[in-house]
């Protein structure tokens, strides 16, 4: 469901009389970024869930595992990379292991530690779903020229650093 809660410039100017530090352009830009991100994210997540039965968290975990290849990654590091708690990653890994997409092994360097690795089935699955996923993302971003996309990348980095 699309929300339209961006205040008007005039409304923000009225609020600026009360709090002079308010910058209407900043407020409208931030809300625009948020709405665009939600719309893009929802269109991507709908496909992942409907076509592949993947939640955003599982998909992110599989992408990170795909990037780490045969070396794998510790569950705690995986949790940190995708921004979830250790309890959440533990449950997620149990489901992914049950589905045959990952395996959890003892770490070679530390007998108490564990390493998560994609199974051959998991790697094949990712090789199957990533190209169409990246194509969907590409199509969504075609509203912007390549130079606009690069400019947006720079602006977003500036906001998040």
The rounded distance, in Å, linking the Cα atoms of 102 and 111 is 19
Distance CA 77, CA 86 (A): 9
Domain edges within the chain: 1-53, 54-161
Whole-number pLDDT of residue 62:
97
Structure tokens at 139: 């199509």
2 — pLDDT class (breaks 50, 70, 90): low
Q: Per-residue b/e over 99-132, b at no fewer than 16 CB within 10 Å?
A: eebbbeeeeeeeeeeebbbbbeebbebbeebeee
pLDDT, tens digit (0-9, with 9 covering 90-100), for 15-45: 889 999 999 999 999 998 998 888 888 889 9
pLDDT at 3: 58
Question: Structure tokens of 126?
Answer: 């990712």
Task: Write the DSSP assignment of 38-105 as a string of letters.
Answer: HHHHHHHHHHHHHHH---HHHHHHHHHHHHHGGG-B-HHHHHHHHT--HHHHHHHHHHHHHTTSEEEE
From the CB of residue 79, how many other CB atoms can be counted at a distance below 10 Å? 21
- 62-88: per-residue pLDDT in tens? 999 999 998 999 999 999 999 999 999
pTM to 2 decimal places? 0.81
Residue 102 in contact with residue 116, Cβ under 8 Å? yes
d(C-alpha 31, C-alpha 23), whole Å? 13
pLDDT of residue 137: 92
- As assigned by CATH, the class of the 54-161 domain is mainly alpha
pLDDT tens-place string over residues 128-159? 999 999 999 999 999 999 999 999 999 999 99
């Amino acid at each position: 469901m699309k929300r339209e809660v961006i205040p008007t410039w005039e409304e923000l100017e009225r609020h600026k009389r009360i709090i002079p530090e308010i910058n209407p352009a900043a407020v409208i830009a931030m809300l625009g970024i948020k709405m665009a991100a939600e719309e893009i994210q929802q269109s991507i997540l709908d496909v992942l869930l409907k076509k592949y039965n993947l939640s955003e968290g599982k998909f992110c975990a599989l992408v990170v595992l795909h990037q780490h290849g045969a070396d794998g990654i510790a569950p705690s590091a995986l949790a940190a990379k995708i921004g979830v708690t250790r309890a959440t990653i533990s449950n997620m890994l149990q489901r992914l292991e049950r589905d045959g997409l990952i395996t959890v092994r003892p770490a070679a360097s530390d007998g108490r530690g564990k390493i998560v690795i994609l199974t051959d089935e998991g790697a094949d699955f990712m090789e199957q779903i990533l190209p169409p996923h990246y194509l969907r993302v590409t199509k969504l971003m075609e509203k912007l020229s390549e130079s606009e996309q690069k400019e947006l990348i720079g602006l977003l980095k500036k906001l998040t650093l």
